[in-house]
Each structure stands twice: as structure tokens, then as C-alpha cells.
């Protein structure tokens, strides 16, 4: 089971993930894409990563935006290394970062 990260560990890791922030007890990020189709495709790719990690975030799809909030429910909703692993993999999907 993943261990909760300290506030300092969270801050240090967030410094390596531009665009991500701490929103209460969750990591958060929104992406604005060029079209609704691109946003929908990104949601599908994020869902694939979530399945691979067996770690599921809250996803919101807007017309051309995708928003995520991530924490680990199995440790009481704390932020863990698993959340950062998901965030890093999602970031790699973002336009300009190797998105498919």
C-alpha cells in the first residue's frame, strides 16, 4: 500500500510538474486542447494509464478541456507517490509532451 507523502515531499514533487497544483488534499491539473475530439481522445488515453496503474482519478471532460484531481483513497485520501506517478504519465500525454 502506498504511503502518504509529507507536505514538503508534495511541494518538492510539484516543483517538477509545472501546471499541477495541490487543491485541498488532491493533485489537480486542467488541460485545454484544440478541439472536443482531442479532449475526448486524451480522456481515453488517461483512462488507459489509470487501468495500467489500477489508480483512478476524477476526470472531467468539457468541450475542449480535461481536468483531473488525484489522491489515493486507500490511504484516506492522502497524496502518495502513486498519485505523482499517474500525474507524470498523464503529463506525458499532454499536447507538446508526446501526446498520442
Distance between CA atoms of 70 and 82, rounded to whole angstroms?
9
pLDDT at 97: 60
Q: Compute φ and ψ for 77, nearest 5 degrees.
A: 85, 15
pTM score, whole prediction = 0.93
Distance between CA atoms of 1 and 75, rounded to whole angstroms?
8
In CATH terms, 20-69 corresponds, of 3.10.129.10, 3.30.1360.20, 3.40.50.10800, 3.40.50.11310, to 3.30.1360.20
Residue range 5-61, pLDDT digits in tens: 999 999 999 999 999 999 999 999 999 999 999 999 999 999 999 999 999 999 999
Residue range 54-99, pLDDT digits in tens: 999 999 999 999 999 999 999 999 999 999 999 999 999 987 764 4
DSSP 68-95: EEE-BGGGTTB-BHHHHHHHHHHHHHST
pLDDT at 94: 87
Distance between CA atoms of 27 and 82, rounded to whole angstroms?
11
- Per-domain boundaries in the chain: 20-69
Amino acid at each position: 500500500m502506498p504511503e502518504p507523502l509529507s507536505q514538503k515531499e508534495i511541494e518538492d514533487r510539484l516543483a517538477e510538474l509545472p501546471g499541477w497544483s495541490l487543491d485541498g488534499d488532491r493533485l489537480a491539473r486542467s488541460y485545454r486542447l484544440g478541439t472536443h475530439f482531442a479532449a475526448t481522445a486524451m480522456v481515453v488515453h488517461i483512462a488507459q494509464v489509470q487501468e495500467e496503474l489500477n489508480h483512478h482519478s476524477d476526470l472531467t471532460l468539457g468541450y475542449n478541456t480535461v481536468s483531473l484531481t488525484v489522491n489515493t483513497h486507500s490511504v484516506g485520501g492522502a497524496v502518495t507517490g502513486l498519485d505523482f506517478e499517474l500525474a507524470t504519465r498523464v503529463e506525458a500525454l499532454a499536447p507538446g509532451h508526446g501526446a498520442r
